[in-house]
Amino acid sequence: MAAPHNPSLTVGRIAEICGGRLVAGERLAGRVVRRVAAIDAAGEDALTWCAEQRLAAKIAESRAVAIIGSEDVVGADERGIVVEDPELAIAQVLDAFFSPPQPPALGAHPTAVIHPTARLGTETAIGAYAVIGEGVVLGDGAVIHEGVSLGKEVLIGEATIIYDRCVIYDRCRIGKGVIIHAGAVIGADSFGYIFRDGRHRKLSHLGTVVIEDEVEIGANTCIDRAKLGATRIGRGTKIDDLVMIAHNVQFGPMCIVTAQCGIAGSTKVGAGVTMGGQSGISHGITMGDGARIAAKATLFKDVPAGGAVSGMPAQDHRTELRDRARVRKLPQLLERVAALEKRVAELENSADH
């Protein structure tokens, strides 16, 4: 793992970064922090945090030099850095310690293949063996890592980062500030066939993919092009690794899609929707704004705005929980039924029944 670009920070500097108050005042401000660690793994050179009351019991056992948390959790510990929002505070501190992957040098690597009609913005960086196709437009500050392939007339927005060996097919549109991690494929044909004359006849996909601003796409995720029109990923949506998004899917802004989800064609996903890991959505389904689908759930019918579903097939989450509770009682119920059957048989065989 690459060394952090800030190998050490003082406790006082960390408090400044996250807007925290030092419980011990200046007495601990000069202590050096060299790493961030979980509460039960932190040594005397480490900072840790406690964002949940249920973990507060572990604070006394932690050897951390400083602990970020809310007033009610760390306010009585002299190592405490008191903040209003511990999760935001630790995110800010992690940013300070984070060392991003080394980008290519500004300009184009000598081994990159760039079509003469491509237009490159200012301060762009293109890594080794990247291929930039005909009519491609790179916005200012775009970073194209090693081995990336950009097809004909791809548009890449300002400050977008595309990591190693991604493939973006012809005519796809990528917005500003987008991050696409290694191995992702954007704009491949979707899985479209009809069965005719004893064979599967392929359907041409004439559409494209539009990735709006500030989207992040995980490693080895695939987003297929539309049959007609555009497959669209809304602004600020975050997609995990190994996700499959089929043709003409429409994602609203600010959605969360975790690993190994599968979304079938023509699905409409509203704003702020959350999808748990390995969940799936059938063809043509609509999820309203703010809807949630639990991990491993399989959705075959629409979900209203604000709805929460789980199970396979997915249903209202509270109904699913009740059904699971009933299922867990089945062994006891079967024992009771067997006992009743035995009693009935005894009564029927009795001479005095």
Q: Residues with catalytic annotation?
A: 247
The span from the CA of 135 to the CA of 19, in Å, is 47
Q: How far is CA 307 from CA 111, 119, 280, 300, in A?
A: 51, 45, 16, 14
If you count DSSP H runs as helices and E runs as strands, how many of each does the chain have, helices first?
5, 40
DSSP, res 55:
G
The span from the CA of 197 to the CA of 217, in Å, is 39
Q: Please enumerate in sequence order all residues whose Cβ is within 8 A of that of 302, keeping only pairs 6 or more positions apart, or say none.
A: 285, 286, 287, 288
The number of beta carbons lying within 10 Å of the beta carbon of residue 13 is 16
Per the DSSP assignment, residues forming a β-bridge with 274 are 256, 292
HSE toward the beta carbon, residue 55, CA cutoff 13 A: 15
Question: Cis link prior to 7 (omega < 30° from 0)?
Answer: no
What sections of the chain are H helices per DSSP? Answer: 11-18, 71-74, 86-97, 317-328, 330-349
Q: How far is CA 59 from CA 25, 47, 330, in A?
A: 19, 12, 42
DSSP string over 200-254: EEEPP---EEEE-TT-EE-TT-EEPPPSSSEEEE-TT-EE-TT-EE-TT-EE-TT
Q: Please enumerate in sequence order all residues whose Cβ is within 8 A of that of 246, keeping only pairs 6 or more positions apart, or say none.
A: 190, 191, 224, 231, 263, 264, 265, 267
Contacts within 8 Å (CB) and 24+ apart, 24-31: 24/78, 24/79, 24/80, 27/78, 28/65, 28/66, 28/78, 28/79, 31/65, 31/66
